[in-house]
Structure 1
Amino acid sequence: MIDMDAEAFEDLVASELDALPDEMVAGLDNIVFVVEDRPEDGSLDLLGLYDGLALTERDRYGMGDLPDRIMIYREPHLHACDDIDELRGEVHTTLVHEIAHFYGIDDERLHELGWA
């Protein structure tokens, strides 16, 4: 387990988000990334969550719609990792996983691609 305060973890998430390929993030529209300590149920099992309607499921989407959210949970990440390199890798994987859900890629396909 790693000890890292909220501000340092947010900086790490921002750094990993900036490092993602342009083609992965270019299509992100009306979406916010949120870092929270834990999921609502308080568990340490969930590393991230996409809250929104995937692109593949939208009829119309436009002005006035609330943004979709990708939540990254700090404490579960810190609990799951033994060092900073492992933490960076896990945050990267979580970001890719949740962004994939935005694009409509389900968990089965993520497993096939090696992203879950």
Structure 2
Amino acid sequence: MHMEAFAAEVETAIGELPPEFRAAVENVAVLVEDWADKATQAEMSLAHPLDLLGLYRGLPLPDRGGTYAGAEPDQVLLYRKAILDYADRHGLAVTECIRNTLIHELGHYLGYDDDQLERIEHGPFHY
């Protein structure tokens, strides 16, 4: 899937997020790159650039103080080639992988850690 078609799928996934979820997300740029750059690969200790489907960069909502204003947008990065590879290897629809990765990364923006998101994605969630 070429970048233009993939980006269109990302736009569709954003538009299909539940309204209350979309309303909670402000000042977040969703970007598409082919894969994580070398610095991110080193930071995340990746064995291979296709090992990372997405990444949230920013300050999660619960960590923001009263003086947090006028900041650059947070970023959700979606890695096209990694998502395409994952979908192919697991026999999943690309659209589903995009949506799941987007929701996972926006979950970090909302303040959830990986363990909490894992429970949300795979079973009943308990704080």
Q: TM-score, normalised by structure 2?
A: 0.81
Aligned-pair distance for 1:27?
1.5
Aligned-pair distance for 1:81?
1.4
- The alignment status of 1:50 with 2:56, answered yes or no, reads yes
Aligned-pair distance for 1:85?
5.8
Report the count of equivalent residues: 111
> Hey, what does 1:112 align to over in structure 2?
119
One-letter amino acid of the structure 1 residue matched with residue 86 of structure 2: A
1:68-107 mapped onto 2 (5 Å cutoff): 68-82=74-88, 86-107=93-114
> Hey, what does 1:33 align to over in structure 2?
30
One-letter amino acid of the structure 1 residue matched with residue 17 of structure 2: L
For residue 16 of structure 1, the aligned residue among 13, 16, 21 is 13
In the alignment, the residues of structure 2 paired with residue 51 and residue 108 of structure 1 have an alpha-carbon distance, to the nearest angstrom, of 18
Give the structure with the higher percent helix.
2
| Secondary structure, aligned partner of 1:53 | coil
Q: TM-score, normalised by structure 1?
A: 0.88
Unaligned runs of 5+ in 2: 42-48, 123-127
User: Identical aligned pairs, as a percentage?
Assistant: 36
| Secondary structure, aligned partner of 2:24 | coil
Question: After superposition, what is the alpha-carbon deviation per residue over 1:46-95, rounded to whole angstroms, capped at 9, x for unaligned?
Answer: 000000000011113112x1110000110001111139962111111001
Moved more, 77-86 or 37-46: 77-86
In the alignment, the residues of structure 2 paired with residue 80 and residue 93 of structure 1 have an alpha-carbon distance, to the nearest angstrom, of 12
Deviating 4+ runs (over 2 angstroms): 82-85
| Secondary structure, aligned partner of 1:114 | helix
Aligned-pair distance for 1:29?
1.4
In the alignment, the residues of structure 2 paired with residue 112 and residue 84 of structure 1 have an alpha-carbon distance, to the nearest angstrom, of 22
